[in-house]
């Protein structure tokens, strides 16, 4: 019988072509499971196409990243037809969120989104709103916590459900610190090019039970990485 594998990927950022090439490279099939740890949207050319592909496969679980968080704040208003009621929702706070999102590469998501029908746009937004912020799992007797950015204001006694959204999708890890002795934390968010004292920038980084898998695929010197948790085999596009 064919073995089933568990994979993790992160920060695809609209790089649809790299994503489908990766699925092909790992020979992703019905028996396998893939966790995409946030930041599917923004920057690259096809964020919504990538999202729709993820939505179409029920053995992929996506978690929210800060880019999904920014997008949700804006799309709740932007996908509506402009009526008086919608216009009234355009507050200073909304405009601030929109500026933030735009500055962080939200333009490509908007551009891609409006190639889809209103029904599809709503479906995409509903999917984004329902995304979880973390996932705990065990693979081959090893325990993992998957989360987009990290565990901000970390405290060993704090339960995962007690972290707020900003602590999980924005606050960066301290890669020099071992958070738990008995489990690994798998994160994206910080391209491994930016991790201090990293001898292998742009590739998956494993140290102190921290596993960083954002290899900066939208960077000139970056690539999309994928890690197979069963045996820590690394794949790159």
| Interface residue list for Mn ion (CB under 5 A) | 39, 65-66, 189
What's CA 37's distance to the chain center, in Å? Answer: 4
**Dihedral angle computed from the Cα positions of residues 147, 148, 152 and 157, in that order, rounded to the nearest 10 degrees:** 0
Instruction: State the minimum distance, in angstroms, from the CB of residue 11 to Mn ion.
Output: 6
Q: Return the C-alpha torsion angle 210, 100, 47, 220, nearest 10.
A: -60
- Least Å from the CB of residue 186 to Mn ion: 14
Least distance from Mn ion to the Cβ atom of residue 61, Å: 17
Chain residue whose CB lies nearest Mn ion: 189
One-character DSSP codes across 156-185: TTS-GGGS-HHHHHTSPP-TTS---SS-EE
- The answer to whether 216 and 188 have CB atoms below 8 angstroms apart is no
- Cβ closest to Mn ion, residue 32 vs residue 146: 146
CB of 161 to Mn ion, least distance (A): 21
What are phi and psi for residue 61, nearest 5 degrees?
-110, 125
Tell me the closest approach of the beta carbon of residue 214 to Mn ion, in angstroms.
7
Q: Strands (DSSP E) along 103-160, which ranges?
A: 134-139, 142-147
Q: Hey, how many other C-beta atoms are within 10 angstroms of the C-beta on 66? A: 22
Instruction: Return the number of the residue (39 or 167) whose C-beta is nearest Mn ion.
Output: 39
Kindly tell me which of 32 and 39 has the beta carbon lying closer to Mn ion. 39
**Residue 51 contacts residue 41 (beta carbons within 8 Å):** yes
User: Between 5 and 54, whose beta carbon lies closer to Mn ion?
Assistant: 54
Cβ proximity to Mn ion, 86 vs 194, nearer residue: 194
């Amino acid at each position: 019988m064919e073995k089933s594998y568990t994979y993790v990927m992160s920060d695809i950022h609209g790089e649809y072509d790299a994503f489908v090439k990766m699925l092909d490279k790992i020979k992703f099939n019905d028996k396998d499971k893939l966790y995409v740890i946030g930041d599917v949207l923004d920057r690259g050319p096809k964020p919504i196409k990538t999202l729709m592909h993820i939505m179409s496969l029920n053995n992929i679980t996506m978690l929210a990243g800060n880019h999904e968080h920014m997008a949700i704040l804006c799309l709740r208003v932007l996908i509506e037809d402009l009526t008086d009621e919608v216009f009234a929702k355009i507050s200073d706070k909304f405009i601030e969120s929109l500026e933030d999102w735009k500055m962080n590469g939200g333009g490509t998501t908007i551009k891609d989104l409006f190639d889809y029908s209103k029904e599809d746009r709503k479906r995409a937004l509903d999917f984004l709103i329902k995304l979880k912020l973390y996932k705990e799992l065990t693979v081959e007797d090893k325990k993992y916590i998957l989360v987009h950015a990290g565990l901000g204001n970390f405290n060993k006694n704090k339960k995962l459900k007690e972290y707020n959204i900003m602590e999980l999708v924005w606050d960066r890890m301290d890669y020099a610190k071992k958070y738990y002795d008995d489990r690994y934390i798998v994160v994206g968010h910080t391209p491994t090019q930016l991790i201090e004292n990293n001898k292998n920038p742009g590739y998956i980084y494993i140290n102190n039970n921290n596993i960083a898998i954002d290899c900066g695929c939208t960077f000139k010197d970056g690539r999309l990485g994928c890690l197979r948790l069963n045996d820590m085999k690394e794949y790159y596009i």
